[in-house]
Amino acid sequence: MRILILGAAGMVGRRLIDRLVAERRIAGQDIDVIEAFDVVEADIASPEGITIEAKAGDISDRSEIEALVAKRPDIIFHLAAIVSGEAEADFEKGYRINLDGMSHLLEAIRHEGDVYRPRLVFTSSIAVFGAPFEEPIGDTFLSAPLTSYGTQKAICELLLNDYSRKGYVDGVGIRLPTIVVRPGKPNKAASSFFSGIIREPLAGQEAILPVADDVRHWVASPAAAVGFLMHAALMDTERLGARRCLTMPGLSVTIAEMIEALRVVAGDEVAGRIRREPDAVIEKIVAGWPRNFDASRAEEMGFSADADFADIIRAHMADEAAKTQGSPR
């Protein structure tokens, strides 16, 4: 089996590759090749029995996407995107990467012909929903995003539904919660601080909190995100009907609850490294984000997430300790 991962060099992409390599089989077949595509080449060695083909390129370049699809991967994971803050700041780049990239991918698949119908797992976002919200938000709630990023993801969802309806692709769209705790350095996502207020204090550094403690948000762990992707690749899509996109399970937590969980897990000194510094731009963006969801449709389809936020923190700490000791994730 051949698997293509778009956005493979990112945190979730790398973890997905780790999971695929560890399991070595998917959908009852041996994994032969994993093609890892991103704007930068992923530094991943091929394990015994599986070839990893790492390639750097531009997802908005139609010819590059056509060349990838011409190899006819059985499963395609589309994780590549310009994140929320950057898509808002650079309107043209956001549409070029987030929308044109998806359109090129779907068209390349369609032009491969009727006998080719791969499973396409697309990572959408809860940003497809915009205020005013119902509580909790169900899968049938109006998709009316208030950001360019959310609009781009919403259009991609409609395209995925239509190309699946026409039989060109077997698509599943998963609306990811905000993924925390992300390791490494902050990115340009407006939601980056949700990880930062946990990651930096645990690393002995000060973290800046740009929003109020009563801000509530929908989150899930990196491990849960990989679990969503794997399940989406394997599930019976006939159960989805015409609506191919689902909101993934998560935890609805306030900033105050996150900080309290950090205090319980790591102590007062660590939790005290958070400095409150309001940012009007971030506050405005976050105010338009949904806070709580009814993910029962996804749960009925077999998706599951984290039990509580303290467990997410402990998992991050275990991952960081494993890196320090040189162990695999």
Integer Cα distance of 271 and 268 in angstroms: 5
* Rounded distance between C-alpha atoms, residue 302 and residue 288, angstroms: 29
Per-residue burial over 217-253, b if 16 or more Cβ lie within 10 Å, else e, is bbbbbbbbbbbbbbbbbbbeeeebeeebbbbbbbbbb
- Looking at residue 293, the DSSP 8-state letter turns out to be B
Cα(288)–Cα(127) distance, rounded to whole angstroms?
9
Residues 6 or more apart in contact with residue 234 via CB below 8 angstroms: 26, 27
- Nearest residue to 298 (alpha-carbon basis) of 181, 180, 173, 179: 173
Quick one: which of 38, 248, 43 has its CA closest to 126? 248
Active site residues: 149
Q: 19: left (phi > 0), else alpha (psi -120 to 50), else beta?
A: alpha
